[in-house]
Structure 1
Amino acid sequence: MLNVAMLSKWHVHAADYARRLQLHGNVKLTAVWDEQPERGSEWAAELGTDFEANLDTLLEREDIDGVVVDAPTSMHADVMVAAAQAGKHIFTEKAMALTVDECNLVSAAVRKAGVKFCISFPALTRPHQLFAKQLVDDHVLGDITLLRIRNGHDGALNNWLPEYWYDEKQTGGGAMMDLGCHPMYIASMLLGKPKRITSMFHYFTHRAVEDNAQCSIEFVNNAVALVETSLVSYKTPSALEIYGTEGTLMISDDTVRVISKNFDVAYPGWVSPNQLPQEQPLPIIQWADALIHDKTMPFGLEEGTKLTELLEAAYIAHKENRTVEFK
């Protein structure tokens, strides 16, 4: 049995993570900590677990094998370094941390302690993204010239996100730091090392952080990614488009179309695949299974750091109104 502590209910996904772990069958939630004790105490009562107001005291407990970090993003580095130093395995909500320097601190602590780490990249477990990666890896589309990804909803427009979601001190940013993480890590997976980035952020609802955002990223392989995200768009169809020198892939919601010079001559036009790759378990489940069965973690320190590298540069590009080059 894997014993897990929930470290804060701050993130909007925290309750779902706890529910999925409780349904796992081989996981037991043993304790809750929260930077807001009243919220944490109430949540612990709902989950039927202990509440501990002091993080260090909780991390000293021997009946905790791993922790799920859903604290404010600005607290991630401190919380995860402490967890690693206490010998606890870590699952964290994205983003890993606000800066690459913070990610490096976490990575050093995790490696020194020899614990396992996983970050939540759920889009990389889904059939459409797995199919896209398969086409890129197999060079079916030729050399990739343009990638466009869109991910959005109307959470800021219709006020169904918590108000602290717009507190930059806690979140580090708005739409791009939240929903924008998904297209960012997809772009990183498909295109590799970034070369430079520009940003266009907008404040449609006049909050302290952006609610509508776009980044243009050039990669070392000469591909360009257009990353679009929004908290003010109604019924936004997810979009993943990949344009290459020998083919094109178009995905919108559940519609998948691809055309390629590399297809059999009998199929010269657009086709929809009869079968997509099998959906993988969500990262939170893969993390738990990896700990229970001593398997390799799916999305680790390197992937988490690469995401933060893109996000940190995106916000610098926006705030300083310039193109940021990667080292």
Structure 2
Amino acid sequence: MSAPLRIAALSAWHVHAEEYAREALNHPDTELVAVWDDDVERGKALAATVGVDFAPDLDALLAREDLDGVTITTATTVHREVIGKVIAAGKHVFTEKLLAPTLAECDELLEAARTAGVQVTVSLPRLAHGYTVALREVLEGGTLGRLSYSRVRLAHNGSTADWLPARFYDPAAAIGGAFSDLAAHPAYLTQLILGTDVTVASATYTDMTGRGVEDNAVVTVTSPDGAIGVVETGFVTPASPFSIEVQGTSGTLTYGLGADGGMVLDTGDGPVALDVPADVPNPFAQWVQAIRSGQETTENLERARALTALVVAANAAAAA
């Protein structure tokens, strides 16, 4: 059996930093060996929490021959710089979304990774959840007919309950507010439903808590076939269920809307509860497999690129 892949966690800027570090600790084929952060105290705190050494020098860390890959949880605005440096060092990359703030930067990083033989995977975790597996099966089976409408909502109370760190409200570092961060999940699920070729029709952002970035947002998209998609998010709702609704000419599929939060299909003969299967391997596990096999996580990268395109278009529409 091969030795475990040795992984370093780069930055505790993002709230998922510890989660991804623990993925490296807990996966049977990886070992977490270090934490780096440009904020020394923040990095030392994460290193102490997960029980590994803090590495103060990123270049020295990336030069280590015993390091195989990294998790990226820096500010989005420095993804191009930091991920580019990691790729140049020949280390594999598991990164928080967005891959990069612009399509040009996404393409630059992906081309560099392919040239270097480096595996890149972006954390789009809800594509691996059981409800998405069930959703794909219904969509691929054509039960809903020609799709006409979808709505996906994901929101929390990070602003009103004040548990998000202040740096999440820096529009430069975060590349926006709630839509650039939390809405990534309903956005890529909307693209799964209606296609990655949807275009942004409108974007409504509000700043209810006065922090300078949107904390409440609704974006509508349209597909080439005329379907309308609604992407909803926010940092101001304490009990907002994650939910999916898909309408077609032959039926309706919902998830998270009933009292039990289950998946329900109605094709005209009344609602039928559908079984939701187990989750499939998550993006971190897919990344480890990609490193071992040398086969990139193609769908993940295509969807990560399309996600950046949608977020960029939505932010532009909101600012217009």
TM-score bracket, normalised by the shorter chain, equals over 0.9
Give the conservation status (yes or no) of the 8 Å contact 1:157–1:205: yes
Q: Residue 269 of structure 1 aligns with which residue?
A: 270
Give the conservation status (yes or no) of the 8 Å contact 1:286–1:298: no
TM-score, L = length of structure 2: 0.93
Q: Residue 183 of structure 1 aligns with which residue?
A: 186
CA deviation after TM superposition for structure 1 residue 50, in Å: 3.0
Q: Residue 138 of structure 1 aligns with which residue?
A: 141
Q: Residue 258 of structure 1 aligns with which residue?
A: 265
User: Structure 2 CA distance, aligned partners of 1:309 and 1:285?
Assistant: 25
Q: Residue 131 of structure 2 aligns with which residue?
A: 128
Q: Residue 318 of structure 1 aligns with which residue?
A: 318
Give the conservation status (yes or no) of the 8 Å contact 2:73–2:95: yes
Gaps of 5+ in 2: none
Q: Identity over the aligned pairs, expressed in percent?
A: 37
Gaps of 5+ in 1: 262-267, 321-327
Corresponding position: 1:93 with 2:96: yes
In the alignment, residue 89 of structure 1 is paired with which amino acid? H
In the alignment, residue 288 of structure 1 is paired with which amino acid? V
Corresponding position: 1:161 with 2:164: yes
Q: Between 46-55 and 215-224, report the one with greater CA deviation.
A: 46-55
CA deviation after TM superposition for structure 1 residue 249, in Å: 0.4
For residues 58-89 of structure 1, give each alpha carbon's deviation from its aligned partner in whole angstroms, at most 9, with x where no partner exists. Answer: 11111111110000011111111111111111
Corresponding position: 1:171 with 2:174: yes
6, 9, 13: which one aligns with 1:3? 6
User: Structure 2 CA distance, aligned partners of 1:220 and 1:80?
Assistant: 34
User: Structure 1 CA distance, aligned partners of 2:101 and 2:308?
Assistant: 6
Give the conservation status (yes or no) of the 8 Å contact 2:263–2:276: no
Alignment of 1:218-237 (within 5 A): 218-237=222-241
Give the conservation status (yes or no) of the 8 Å contact 2:152–2:230: yes
Q: CA RMSD in A?
A: 1.6
In the alignment, residue 260 of structure 1 is paired with which amino acid? T
Change beyond 3 A, Cα 1:158–1:48: closer
CA deviation after TM superposition for structure 1 residue 255, in Å: 2.0
User: Structure 2 CA distance, aligned partners of 1:43 and 1:195?
Assistant: 39
User: Structure 1 CA distance, aligned partners of 2:216 and 2:20?
Assistant: 27
User: Structure 1 CA distance, aligned partners of 2:86 and 2:316?
Assistant: 29
In the alignment, residue 158 of structure 2 is paired with which amino acid? G
Give the conservation status (yes or no) of the 8 Å contact 1:119–1:299: no
Corresponding position: 1:301 with 2:305: no
* DSSP-derived class of the 1:160 partner: coil
In the alignment, residue 258 of structure 1 is paired with which amino acid? L
User: Structure 1 CA distance, aligned partners of 2:169 and 2:190?
Assistant: 25
Give the conservation status (yes or no) of the 8 Å contact 2:250–2:267: yes
* DSSP-derived class of the 1:43 partner: helix
Give the conservation status (yes or no) of the 8 Å contact 1:176–1:213: yes
Give the conservation status (yes or no) of the 8 Å contact 2:124–2:300: no
Alignment of 1:113-124 (within 5 A): 113-124=116-127
* DSSP-derived class of the 2:263 partner: strand
Q: Between 79-88 and 279-288, report the one with greater CA deviation.
A: 279-288
User: Structure 2 CA distance, aligned partners of 1:303 and 1:237?
Assistant: 24
Change beyond 3 A, Cα 1:293–1:195: closer
TM-score, L = length of structure 1: 0.91
User: Structure 1 CA distance, aligned partners of 2:145 and 2:58?
Assistant: 51
CA deviation after TM superposition for structure 1 residue 149, in Å: 0.6
Give the conservation status (yes or no) of the 8 Å contact 1:117–1:300: no
User: Structure 2 CA distance, aligned partners of 1:129 and 1:141?
Assistant: 16
Give the conservation status (yes or no) of the 8 Å contact 1:196–1:219: no
CA deviation after TM superposition for structure 1 residue 299, in Å: 4.9
Q: Residue 323 of structure 1 aligns with which residue?
A: none
User: Structure 1 CA distance, aligned partners of 2:236 and 2:91?
Assistant: 38
* DSSP-derived class of the 1:210 partner: coil
CA deviation after TM superposition for structure 1 residue 178, in Å: 1.3
User: Structure 2 CA distance, aligned partners of 1:47 and 1:157?
Assistant: 29
Q: Residue 217 of structure 2 aligns with which residue?
A: 213
User: Structure 1 CA distance, aligned partners of 2:200 and 2:156?
Assistant: 27
Change beyond 3 A, Cα 1:126–1:246: same
